[in-house]
Amino acid sequence: MATSHLARKQASAHENRAGKELSGAQWARRFPGSRGTSDLSGTFRHAVEDFIAAMAEAGIRVKMDATYRPTKRYDLMHWAWRIVNDKADVSSIPAMGGVDIEWQHPAGADTVRAAEDMVGALSIRRLRTRPALRSQHNLGLAIDMSLSWHGTVSVKDANGKLVTIRTMPRTGMNRQLIEIGATYGVKKYGGGGRDVPHWSNNGR
């Protein structure tokens, strides 16, 4: 009895009159993304799986971080980051379909603090530029992966040609590896070194 009363009281403390739930770290558990290639879309899925198989065969270590991510997660990432880093005015944040979040806390200071908690929980604290509102991840057409290897590796491209990589760096930023990925239809992010793990169907 006492417990349920307390639970009810806590729940109401986190909801405002419009039935929205206040922002906070708990939102990072909603609308989860995927790390599996099976959530990628159609032909891109097969391209990625073939590219990863070729890298694995060559002895390259592949650690997948994100494949598909729902748009709702992007709304949370984008606005939490902007409240913290751009001092975005919470009253100007547009409503998001299916995301009943209230960014404005009754005590003003809590608004930024809760957004900071979300930035941490969503793992975007180290981002220097605002996360995009939409991305190829929303369409299942992008993958984030960390790649590393030792010494020299020989990787088969999509045409069956074995390419020996002796160049640096031994990461996903390696020019030769980027060319190999492109033969499979997996394009390295074209915006420079800002998004090291990101590959997609079109380089965006």
Shortest gap between Cβ of 136 and Zn ion (angstroms)?
Answer: 8
Nearest approach, Cβ of 37 to Zn ion (angstroms)?
A: 14
Q: Bridge-partner residues for 187, per DSSP?
A: 200
Residues 51 to 80 in contact with Zn ion, rule: CB under 5 A: none
**Angstrom distance (rounded) from CA 125 to CA 25:** 13
144 near Zn ion (CB under 5 A): yes
> Which C-beta is closer to Zn ion: that of 111 or that of 138?
138
Q: Within 13 Å, how many C-alpha atoms sit on residue 66's CB side? A: 22
For the bound state, the minimum distance from the C-beta of residue 34 to Zn ion, rounded and expressed in Å, comes to 12
Q: Which residues contact 159 (CB under 8 A, 6 or more apart)?
A: 183
Task: Tell me how far, at minimum, the Cβ of 199 lies from Zn ion, in Å.
Answer: 8
Which C-beta is closer to Zn ion: that of 44 or that of 103? 44
Q: What is the DSSP string of 106-141?
A: SSHHHHHHHHHHHHHHTT-TT-SSPPPSS-GGGGT-
Min dist. Cβ of residue 193 to Zn ion (A): 14
Backbone angles phi, psi at 79, to 5 degrees: -80, -35
Q: In degrees to the nearest 10, what's the CA dihedral of 168, 173, 178, 180?
A: 50
Give the count of residues interacting with Zn ion (CB under 5 A).
3
Q: Of the two residues 170 and 188, which places its CB atom closer to Zn ion in the complex?
A: 188
Residue nearest to Zn ion (CB): 198
- Binding to Zn ion, residues 181-200 (CB under 5 A): 198
Contacting residues toward Zn ion, per CB under 5 A: 142, 144, 198
